[in-house]
Structure 1
Amino acid sequence: MPKSALDKDLKKVVKLEEATHDLSRSIAAPGLAVLFLVAIFLVMSGLAPSGPLSFFVIAGGVIAGYMALNIGANDVANNMGPAVGSRALPLGAALLIAAICEAAGAILAGGDVVNTISKNIVVPGQGFEVRDFVMLMMASFLAAAIWIHLATFLNAPVSTTHSIVGGVLGAGIAAAGFGIVNWPTMGAIAASWVISPVMGGVIAAALLGFVKWQVLFKPDRVTAARRWVPVLIGLMAGVFAMYLALKGFSKIWKPSAGTVWLLGLVFFIAGTLATRPWVARRAATLENRRKHVAGLFTLPLVFAAGLLSFAHGANDVANAVGPLAAIVAAAETGTATAGNVALPFWVLAIGAIGISLGLALFGPRLIRTVGTKITKMDAPRAYCVALAAAITVLIASALGLPVSSTHIAIGGVFGVGFLREQLANLGLKADGPKPAKPTPSEPSSLTRTPEDAIKKQIKREKRRLVRRRHVLGIAAAWVITVPAAGGLAAALYALMKAVSDF
């Protein structure tokens, strides 16, 4: 056989092997997810309370596992995306850290109570049938999971909380009309669609502006970093101490407001003093270059991403399994209740394992979207996004605003991106202000050539460092989340009701 023909045949074999490998990988992830759901079905068959609603409890467990998988695939990317995009963490390490921290947060500090009607979105009356209530929860839960699954497929990071809100709203209206809805609560949630990303973006941009003007734009960056980086790390320590005290450890500790502030101050001072020697040692070996100084933010960024994942697991595990706890409580008591019910350990375990597995199997694509496709990230920018997310949640909690961690994180990414864009258009790039260059006199209109006109137009063109199509796509997904999940939940509830009455 001629050599050229042999080479062609070998190339075909290699391409076939590559295609087979890609196909096996694409099949493996859904296969493992299905095995996880089958395992839940088998376990729930033994744990479900006996009675006429036992089937609904088993089905609710499977739906909870499906929901947890989708939360892991979509929501966790917001915490790890900037760290991966900045190359502070490789994708594999980010997945491992996030999986461990999410599971630890869910199991060790997961909320011990959850409102069965998702923050009082709907309030069933005394005559509401328990079977209708269980189907309402199942329909809303399944609709939210399907919507998040679709959004993940489309590379759109959406709010899992708002997906559940939309599902409960749509199923509740289908079950009992508009009178069942708590409209003041819905108004506050709708306001958070704007408040969350704007607040996160403004705070992230302000933090990045401080880093640029106080450190990166200084002639002696190393000296400036030795002065300010420990303060920024101390700020991170104080903010996260307050964040975890308020949002992460509610199961085991509920401190007063004064205690939270004191805790934040203590950790701020301790973090600043403890990291000064570390920063000084690192700074002694650095060149006075932006890239080298920016590396000082890498290790703090890794800790910030891990802490965000821990807090996310502690809080959002209720989004994954809260309705399941409501279904179990309704099956055990035989009544529809809008009160608080306990989250049993096995319910928390479903949420923790499902979130971690969903992140590992389906999270990488959305992590890349958040970390690389909206705007270019580096360690200082990603650090500002993570710190802004924690600060925004603290402010929102103090003001009583129901905000979305997804909206805050993505808003922070947009905030640092638009700040970079504005500074670049003002001539303030990575190395600070540039001295103005003398501009030659422009040719007169009589001597100007078409080439001159084109060059002038290009010179006037503003730089765009944020990809607009991602801005519009993500914003559109946010706007339609509640109505899409609500409409799907209403249809599912009507289908379930028709089947049960048949």
Structure 2
Amino acid sequence: MGSTALVVVIVVVALGFDYTNGFHDSANAIATSISTKALTPRVALAMAAVANVVGALISTKVAATVGKGIIETPTGGTAGLAVVLAALVGAIVWNLGTWYFGLPSSSSHALIGGLVGAALAASEAVKWSGVVDKVIVPMVLSPLIGFGLSYLFMLLVLWTFRSINAVRANRGFRWAQIASAATMSFAHGTQDAQKTMGVITLTLIVSGHLNAHAGVPLWVILSSAAAISLGTYSGGWRIMRTMGRRIFSLTPPSGFAAQAVASGVMLGTSAYGLPVSTTHVISSAVMGVGATRRFSAVRWGVAGNIVVAWVLTMPAAALVAALVWLGVHPFTT
């Protein structure tokens, strides 16, 4: 297969990954709003899709981190492109597997794990300092921050509105959830669509279609934003049930608190180009607000399964990507 044809294949596969990212992670932005009946499912999905596009157009800092900060630019023409293709396939396989079992794992870390696994299999250099500083450390800290801040914020909400009639408070927080869900979807666009932009940009650099110092082309930004938005609108109902009901039975105040904190963490990290997981942040925020009622109110067995998926995501996607590279490499040399 020629270099140009392989580039086209990789771009299509990358947008396919972006689509799976959308339906896999749509639960992150809107499950809490749907579970508390602040929004109907289709209205929530449409709003999330639009906000994702807007978020994807705002910044490309995370895209630069994924495209240039995780592995060295692969060499060898079509052989280098095989590394990118293998990374994408590894991420897609993990996305589909966790979606099937309803586990809200990280599409972001699946893609990064795929890049690392394919690069190692191809004997390409991995920027381990970048992986540690911009991926591993934020991966560990962001859920802890999400849990702690949501716990404290929920306590503040409970104390502030302690004398308000519960029916009136729930009605008001349902309206507030619309705003927090839109903000969460916007934050999702500033993070997750960026990863696909980074991979496509990396592909264009490897193939010689783009200068290594150039920015992300506009068509890459628009196509990535469109793909993740279409995926979001298709809905990830299996994961939505886990996020909205199985971890903790959310109320409008707790749903608002979880979304508000999670979106703040996402926007803060994207401003610094840190590719953190939307899934990790919102899941831990839901656990945090649930713990304010009592620790036993959180279904820790479900939470434990989610954490196991978090831990396995990068190595599992890396392994699949390495195997895929071994399979496609003979046809690209």
TM-score, length basis structure 1:
0.61
Q: Deviations over 1:453-500 (max 9, x none)?
A: xxxxxxxxxxx3222231111111100000001001111111111222
1:393/1:110 Cα in 2 relative to 1: closer, same or farther (>3 Å)? closer
Measured in 2, the distance between the counterparts of 1:378 and 1:371 equals 10
Equivalent position SS for 1:350: helix
Q: Does 1:392 align with 2:265?
A: yes
Q: Deviations over 1:95-135 (max 9, x none)?
A: 111122212333x425288338545222248xx31322211
Aligned to 1:299: 175
1:350/1:398 Cα in 2 relative to 1: closer, same or farther (>3 Å)? closer
Aligned to 1:479: 311
**Contact conserved, 2:183 with 2:263, CA < 8 A, in 1?**
no
1:377/1:117 Cα in 2 relative to 1: closer, same or farther (>3 Å)? closer
Q: Deviations over 1:315-348 (max 9, x none)?
A: 32121232122212332449xx8x4543333323
Aligned to 2:72: 123
Measured in 1, the distance between the counterparts of 2:19 and 2:273 equals 29
Shift in Å, 1:152: 1.1
**Contact conserved, 1:114 with 1:342, CA < 8 A, in 2?**
no
Alignment partner of 2:42 out of 88, 92, 116: 92
Shift in Å, 1:379: 1.2
Aligned to 2:13: 63
Q: Which amino acid in 2 is paired with 1:55?
A: A
**Contact conserved, 1:87 with 1:378, CA < 8 A, in 2?**
no
- Number of paired residues? 332
1:404/1:371 Cα in 2 relative to 1: closer, same or farther (>3 Å)? same
**Contact conserved, 1:117 with 1:168, CA < 8 A, in 2?**
no
Equivalent position SS for 1:403: coil
| Larger-Rg structure | 1
1:176/1:367 Cα in 2 relative to 1: closer, same or farther (>3 Å)? same
Q: Which amino acid in 2 is paired with 1:482?
A: M
Alignment partner of 2:131 out of 186, 198, 209: 186
Alignment partner of 2:244 out of 366, 371, 396: 371
Q: Deviations over 1:362-395 (max 9, x none)?
A: 4233222211111011111111111111333456
Measured in 2, the distance between the counterparts of 1:318 and 1:398 equals 12
Measured in 1, the distance between the counterparts of 2:5 and 2:326 equals 18
Q: Which amino acid in 2 is paired with 1:492?
A: V
1:499/1:364 Cα in 2 relative to 1: closer, same or farther (>3 Å)? same
Measured in 1, the distance between the counterparts of 2:119 and 2:225 equals 28
Aligned to 1:263: none
Equivalent position SS for 2:138: helix
Measured in 2, the distance between the counterparts of 1:307 and 1:394 equals 9
**Contact conserved, 1:98 with 1:309, CA < 8 A, in 2?**
yes
Alignment partner of 1:78 out of 5, 9, 28: 28
1:317-328 correspondence runs (5 A): 317-328=193-204
Structure 1 residues without counterparts, runs of 5 or longer: 1-50, 222-288, 423-463
Alignment partner of 2:157 out of 211, 229, 250: 211
Equivalent position SS for 2:63: strand
1:319/1:486 Cα in 2 relative to 1: closer, same or farther (>3 Å)? same
Q: Which amino acid in 2 is paired with 1:484?
A: A
Q: Deviations over 1:36-64 (max 9, x none)?
A: xxxxxxxxxxxxxxx94111111112202
Shift in Å, 1:414: 0.7
1:99-498 correspondence runs (5 A): 99-106=49-56, 108-109=57-58, 111=60, 114-115=63-64, 118=67, 120-124=69-73, 128-176=75-123, 180-188=125-133, 189-216=135-162, 218=163, 221=164, 289-333=165-209, 339-393=212-266, 396=269, 403-422=276-295, 464-498=296-330
Equivalent position SS for 2:70: coil
1:361/1:400 Cα in 2 relative to 1: closer, same or farther (>3 Å)? closer
Q: Which has the higher contact order (CA 8 A, sep 6+)?
A: 2
1:494/1:310 Cα in 2 relative to 1: closer, same or farther (>3 Å)? same
1:296/1:65 Cα in 2 relative to 1: closer, same or farther (>3 Å)? same
Measured in 1, the distance between the counterparts of 2:270 and 2:221 equals 24
1:136/1:373 Cα in 2 relative to 1: closer, same or farther (>3 Å)? same
Measured in 2, the distance between the counterparts of 1:326 and 1:398 equals 21
1:144/1:398 Cα in 2 relative to 1: closer, same or farther (>3 Å)? closer
Identity %: 28
Q: Which amino acid in 2 is paired with 1:151?
A: T
Equivalent position SS for 2:161: helix
Structure 2 residues without counterparts, runs of 5 or longer: none
Root-mean-square deviation (CA, aligned residues, Å) is 2.5
Q: Which moved more, 1:370-379 or 1:322-331?
A: 322-331
TM-score, length basis structure 2:
0.90
**Contact conserved, 1:110 with 1:315, CA < 8 A, in 2?**
no
